[in-house]
Chains A and B, each alone.
Chain A
Amino acid sequence: AQSVAQPEDQVNVAEGNPLTVKCTYSVSGNPYLFWYVQYPNRGLQFLLKYITGDNLVKGSYGFEAEFNKSQTSFHLKKPSALVSDSALYFCAVRASNTGRRALTFGSGTRLQVQP
């Protein structure tokens, strides 16, 4: 079975400071990893994905994530946080070696950026 852990329910950071939202995963074989963001009353929006290749993935709105196979992690990062980044962030995984196409999501991390 595959699973995702987001150990922090909430992350607080001051505007302009770097931010990190943590994600670890468990999956059989190589993972496909995704980050989504959810704003109130809106659907999940895709930020970035790791499929293969370079461990540092760059995505929308200045976000990036680093795939670490040995630590089974895929932490989301941004060098300088904006107040508008405040939202709910979800990490998701899919196994690459099965026919199952569904994503398994973590429980989410609420990011609060203070002005």
Chain B
Amino acid sequence: GAGVSQSPRYKVAKRGQDVALRCDPISGHVSLFWYQQALGQGPEFLTYFQNEAQLDKSGLPSDRFFAERPEGSVSTLKIQRTQQEDSAVYLCASSLNWGSLNEQFFGPGTRLTVL
């Protein structure tokens, strides 16, 4: 596709449910990033991958959050036992190269609401 796509666009979960959010990066992009954007705030870094390797997961808020990119393309962010504070927009971004200074291209986000 022409850009980064994310699915679902909207997700409503009951507290305690597990959710999985999908990101399809731009074809050929090596780097993939996940950010969390709370209402009225800027995006905050969660984790990133170079190909299939998760090189930084320092932003994941708890061990309930898990991300993978097994084949170096599509990525999934999984949140176990969701809590109300997990409600946010989850943004995925991809970038062409690891070592370069290419800008990150963002998807439209998945809006997660935990009831």
Q: Tell whether, in the assembled complex, residue A51 and residue B101 are in contact, meaning their CB atoms are under 8 Å apart.
A: yes
9 closest cross-chain pairs (CB), A and B: A105-B42, A43-B106, A102-B45, A44-B106, A46-B103, A43-B108, A107-B42, A105-B43, A43-B107
Determine if A100 and B56 form an interchain contact, defined as CB atoms under 8 angstroms apart: yes
A45 is an interface residue with CB less than 8 A from chain B = yes
B42's partner among A43, A51, A100, A106 (CB-CB below 8 A) is A106
Q: How large is the interface on A (under 10, 10 to 19, 20 to 34, 35 or more residues)?
A: 20 to 34
Q: B17 to nearest A CB, angstroms?
A: 24
B23 to chain A, nearest CB (A): 11
Residues of chain B lying within 8 A (CB to CB) of residue A100: 56
Partner of B91 from the list A4, A34, A41, A43 (CB cut-off 8 Å) is A43
B48 touching A101 by the CB < 8 A rule? Answer: yes
In angstroms, Cα B44 to Cα A106, docked, is 9
B108 touching A104, Cβ below 8 Å: no
Q: Are A36 and B41 in contact (CB under 8 A)?
A: no
Q: Are A102 and B56 in contact (CB under 8 A)?
A: yes
- B103–A101 CB distance below 8 A: no
Which of chain A's residues has its CB closest to B3's CB? A43
A67 at the interface (CB under 8 A from B): no
Chain B interfacial positions (CB closer than 8 Å to A) = 3-4, 31, 33, 35, 40-45, 48, 55-56, 59, 91, 93, 95, 98, 101, 103-109
With A43-B91, A51-B101, A90-B42 known as contacts, the answer to whether A101 contacts B106 (CB < 8 A) is: no
Q: Using a CB-CB cutoff of 8 Å, which residues 38-65 of chain A contact chain B?
A: 41-46, 49, 51
Contact between chains at A43 and B4 (CB < 8 Å): yes
Cβ distance A105 to chain B, nearest Cβ, rounded Å: 3
A–B complex contacts, Cβ < 8 Å, 15 sampled: A42-B108, A43-B4, A43-B106, A44-B93, A46-B105, A100-B56, A101-B55, A101-B95, A102-B33, A103-B33, A103-B45, A103-B104, A107-B41, A108-B41, A108-B42
Question: Which residues of B lie under 8 Å from residue A104 when comparing CB positions?
Answer: 45
